[in-house]
Chain A
Amino acid sequence: MTDLLELAGVSRVYASRRGLIGRAVAVRAVDDVSLRLAAGRTLGIVGESGCGKSTTGRLALGLERPDQGIVRFEGEPMPAPGSPVWRRLRARMQLVYQDPLGAMDRRLTIATQIEEPLVIHDIGNAAERRDRVAALLRDVGLRPDHAARHPHELSGGQRQRAVLARALATDPALLVCDEPVSALDVSIQAQVVNMLTDLQQARGIAMLFISHDLKVVRQVSHEVAVMYLGRTVEQGDPEAIFADPVHPYSRALVSAIPVPGARRRERIVLTGDPPNPADRPKGCAFHPRCPVAVAACRVETPALQTLPDGREVACHLAPGTIRKAA
């Protein structure tokens, strides 16, 4: 089976200037990341601010071009952003992000905004578009009377539903969701998460689900990648990774999530902040905060290795690779 989306050894480097007269520094926002996503599946990407998860999403949509590596959509290399081929392809892949109010035009009605992608991609005549907008509103759980409203007249949850309806208008094969429920209250978040999984089942959409919220990612993902400072440190089955994380960073991240009702697990509290991506530590980027780092970690960047249970881990000390560190 060909993957719908494939990122092969993808890197993205930004030039960042410190201060007004500072020298430009190369920041590797994404560093040698490889991901595959099959049709109808969800790949969750978790990690903290600055780990490169959002840049990965933009690379996946072809909004940015990688400096190294290649992005393939349906087996074909991603065309250059802005090119006519890419514009046509954009109907097949859509983006939903955290702030629905920022994603919408405040002066246009909900119906006009949901119809817009159909107009841009020249799908259907006026009557067909009207029917399609009505069907989309229904699919995302909005009422027909929401069509004539403006974004500020809707609640946060309703706005995110409207943004989703717009993203679904062209019947995309891929949805990149960047923190889609992070701004919503718990009870509304559950409604939108349920809707996303229902829509995926009904339409067979693949989702790249980017979030800092491990609980939500576990809920929606078939596979999950944990990122730290631009690199994937652990990737595989969400059940395995959240129940028994192997990489010391995944372990700390999972243990940092407080869960009501559960007995408090032993919490791994990391010291320090994540380093500045412009000032990446040598060797394993996690070693300055890692409670189990050994000498090799300061020198050699660990590559992803496959463990017996199928997951991939980039750690010198992961079981099965332990001899290397000794």
Chain B
Amino acid sequence: MEGGSVLRHGLPGEQLLPLTSADAVSMADTLVSIRDLRVAFGGVPALRGVDLDVRRGEAVGLVGESGCGKSVTWLAALGLLPAKAAVAGQVLLDGQDLLGASPATLDRIRGGRIAMIFQDPASALNPVHRVGRQVEEALRLHRGMAGPAARAEARRLFDLVGIPDAGRRLDTYPHEMSGGQNQRVMIAMALAGQPELLVADEPTTALDATIQAQILDLLRRLQAETGMALVLISHDLGVVADMCSRVGVMYAGRVVEQAPAGALFTHPAHPYTVGLLGALPDMVGPRRRLSAIPGGVPEPWNLPPGCAFAPRCDHASPACAAAVPALQPAGDRHLAACIRVNARAPEPA
């Protein structure tokens, strides 16, 4: 690949922007652009055409239930799926398609320009190496640091992510630390490559509520300090509402709604989003019976024709089975994949 210069990673500001499009302004603004991403495992579709943009420095939430494809989207984008997965579409990082990129190029991008953290930090860390050494390895791979310089930088990163007594903690093993501390180590390791985008896949799901609050606080602070973009994948609408300025809702391998966080939670347009919010118990106000969405998610090998949500939808009509609905405007920067959106008056921009 043309690699070297494009991928050279330095401080923000000395970034090389390979602007090939005439639409230079929006290109410069968009960091990652996913277009019609399709993934199938043994002929069974897991993603059925996902479009998603991540702008520099923004926090995007991706919500949905088990199997909706929210994790697969980013595993596919970063080339982390097993070889048996059939992946098609485009994942553009500053205009460079990652899906066709060489393994060497991907190795430099993963953990470099784009870092990812997962739900279970203990299994993502190597149990037989001290945590400091694991962070130093990331520094060697992505920033060419070694010896005392790497050690000092690892220590700085530990301080940055709020690990108390950082100097001594570098020499502990993952099993000697709590789940929250291990997640901080993972975040430190992710920051080692000075990423422009951090993809956090259910980063607090395995943690207790008060520790979750600490980690979310940390991610928010790091994002503000480093200016990196954040993709937060979560099943918890509350977490996403709290952290993200823009949210995508996924169902059965597609993005069914995309909107600024405020609009999504106050004026959800897709019946599935409405259903998810209704199914969530409140923390304040009178207790009401939960409005559960009837039925279950369709099996990926047995999807209904047209809109995959139609069999569970209160508003479904025969027209819903005619074709898979495309995302259409439902308000200001608000898109929903539902044929009823057309019939509604869009909310004032």
Contacts and interface: CB of A to CB of B under 8 A. Distances in A.
Interface of A: 48-49, 155-158, 185-191, 193-194, 197, 212, 214-216, 218-219, 242-243, 252-262, 264, 267-274
Nearest to B208: A48
Contacts of B239: 258
A256 B181 CA distance: 18
A259 B282 contact: yes
A190 B65 contact: no
Interface in B186-243: 208-214, 216-217, 235-243
A274 B208 contact: yes
Given A188-B292, A269-B217, 7 more contacts: A155-B296, A157-B296, A190-B279, A193-B290, A212-B208, A270-B213, A274-B210
Interface residues of B, number: 45
A264 B216 CA distance: 13
B296 A243 contact: no
B242 A186 contact: no
B282 A194 contact: no
Given A187-B65, A260-B265, A215 B283 contact: yes
B7 to A, nearest CB: 36
Given A212-B209, A214-B209, A257-B238, A219 B292 contact: no
Contacts, number: 123
A252 B210 contact: yes
A273 B209 contact: no
A138 B305 CA distance: 30
A214 B290 contact: no
A256 B281 contact: no
Contacts of B283: 214-215, 218, 242, 254, 257, 259, 262
B91 interface: no
Given A187-B65, A258-B238, A194 B289 contact: yes
Contacts of A267: 213, 217
Nearest to A51: B208
A252 B214 CA distance: 11
A264 B237 CA distance: 14
A168 B3 CA distance: 63
A268 B212 CA distance: 12
Interface string B163-181: 0100000000000001011
Contacts of A216: 281
B209 A261 contact: no
Contacts of A214: 209, 283
B276 A270 contact: no
Given A187-B292, A190-B279, A194-B289, A258 B181 contact: no
Interface of B: 65-66, 164, 178, 180-181, 208-214, 216-217, 235-243, 265-266, 275-284, 287, 289-294, 296-297
Q: Among the interface residues A155, A242, A261, A267, which one has the most CB atoms of the partner chain B within 10 A?
A: A261
B281 A215 contact: yes
A185 B242 contact: no
Given A190-B290, A190-B293, A259-B241, A185 B235 contact: yes
B63 to A, nearest CB: 9
17 contacts: A49-B208, A187-B279, A188-B296, A194-B290, A214-B283, A215-B280, A215-B282, A252-B213, A253-B209, A259-B284, A261-B241, A261-B266, A264-B242, A267-B213, A269-B210, A270-B210, A273-B178
B279 A186 contact: yes
B280 A186 contact: yes
A261 B291 CA distance: 17
A30 B276 CA distance: 36
B239 to A, nearest CB: 5
